[in-house]
Amino acid sequence: DAMVIQNPRYQVTQFGKPVTLSCSQTLNHNVMYWYQQKSSQAPKLLFHYYDKDFNNEADTPDNFQSRRPNTSFCFLDIRSPGLGDAAMYLCATSRDLGANEKLFFGSGTQLSVL
């Protein structure tokens, strides 16, 4: 059974057209993360929520925003996608924050920008 579900699997958008990616979880975990992974590169953390507390990475562009309306759902909004934002976007969850916590990933959304 899928525990971290990302929709859609593939998303095509136009340059500058806002796009929203969604993630849901059935694990009831406190923490939800968004990672960006470009081809043949390491996943890069964009931000995470601990419950309703939002934590943005210092180098995450302002173009990227996130919302977590409840425990189960988290959204990634890209306000004005550029060609450089084409990537796989990975949602992950963990029960709590801390170095001994295990992350569970969704299957990702592959974003193309035309």
Q: Does residue 4 touch other proteins according to CB under 8 A?
A: yes
Q: Which is nearer to other proteins, 12 or 79 (CB)?
A: 12
Residue range at the interface with other proteins (CB under 8 A); choices 14-22, 61-69, 74-82, 101-109: 101-109
How far apart (Å, rounded) are the C-alpha atoms in residues 47 and 110? 18
Preceding omega of 8 cis (within 30 degrees of 0) = yes
Contact 69, 14 (CB under 8 A): no
Q: Does residue 69 touch other proteins according to CB under 8 A?
A: no
Q: How many chain residues are in contact with other proteins, going by CB under 8 A?
A: 30
How far apart (Å, rounded) are the C-alpha atoms in residues 25 and 61? 25
In the complex, what is the shortest distance from the CB of residue 16 to other proteins, in angstroms, rounded to a whole number?
26
How far apart (Å, rounded) are the C-alpha atoms in residues 46 and 1? 27
| Binding residues for other proteins (CB under 8 A) | 4, 6, 31, 33, 40-45, 48, 50, 55, 57, 88, 90, 92, 94, 97-100, 102-108, 110
